[in-house]
Structure 1
Amino acid sequence: MSTEITRVQAPRGVAASAHYSHVVWGSGRFVAVSGQCAFDERREVVGVGDPGAQARQVFENLRRCLAEAGATFDDVVKLTYFVTDIGHMEQVRIARDEVLHPDRLPASSAVQVSALILPELLVEIEAYAILGEDAP
């Protein structure tokens, strides 16, 4: 069961963004999901050289991790994106939009990094979620 989560895309005096909420809060059980990369279940990299394919795999891994805690993307309050090229963010957003409801966008940060754990990896994403206090 999801908790009541409040999302504010444009606090007074702050420019709105169509891509994230500036402020998100709720009460309940906190869930932190470690940064996920484009690994399949055999730890093989999916989508070498393709940031869109990697992002889709990352969101699938996040979905599986959230499900393990009884959460869904509706419970996510914060995403942090690490990309090796900020130009990959357009493809990452397309993949994100396939799993997130446009009225339930979490707070977000995007950071370009010089490298991830393997040179083939282009995208890593971590997530924070809040579940209702009565969630399993």
Structure 2
Amino acid sequence: MKITRFNPEGSPAPRQYHHVVIAEGARRTVYIAGQVAYDEHRNLVGGNDVVAQLAQVLVNLDRALVAARCERTQVMKITTSVVSYTPEQADGILGAIGEFFPAEHRPVNTLLGVERLAADELLIEIDAIAVCAAT
């Protein structure tokens, strides 16, 4: 099995991890690190609004998928971590995620309420696992 680790061009510089890990065999299993609301210059996008931050998280997730030569339909699982999550936030968060993934190809999702993420300004993070065609 061949394993490739890299960071997509335009992604914020990671600290001690890779944004994408690909395990290739008959199929490629792609592991995408938790994506947060930083732009490519590591500037926070979305301020103190979890849904606004989520929009940038999904931009970053899409960038990682494209760089790994995967499609949204090939994402099998995501984990969504939300700081100080309350059930009242579900519609906004799950609605945005639902618009990102095609209805018939939505991945399983574990939604976690967490105390904090890697930096105080971050409110939401999504990591993903995709199974893509071998290249």
Q: Aligning the two structures, in what range does the TM-score lie when normalised by the shorter sequence?
A: 0.7 to 0.9
- What residue in structure 2 maps to residue 46 of structure 1? 45
Find the counterpart in structure 2 of residue 20 from structure 1: none
The answer to whether the 8 A contact 2:47-2:53 is kept is yes
After TM superposition, give the deviation of residue 97 of structure 1 in Å.
2.0
| SS, match of residue 103 in structure 2 | coil
- 5+ residue gaps, structure 1: 1-26
Segment drifting more, 83-92 vs 45-54: 83-92
The equivalent of 1:15 in structure 2 is none
Is the 2:78–2:126 contact (alpha carbons within 8 Å) kept by the matching residues of 1? Answer: yes
**Cα shift readout 1:53-110 (whole Å, capped 9, x = no counterpart):** 1111001100000111101211100000000022333322122122111111111101
Equivalences, count: 108
CA contact (8 A) 1:77 1:107 kept: yes
Tell me the TM-score normalized by structure 1. 0.75
Correspondence for 2:102:
101
3-state DSSP of counterpart to 2:105: coil
Instruction: Give the corresponding residue for 1:123.
Output: 124
Query: Could you tell me the percent identity over the aligned residues?
Result: 33
Q: Which residue of 2 aligns with 1:63?
A: 62
Across the aligned residues of Structure 1 and Structure 2, the Cα RMSD in angstroms comes to: 1.3
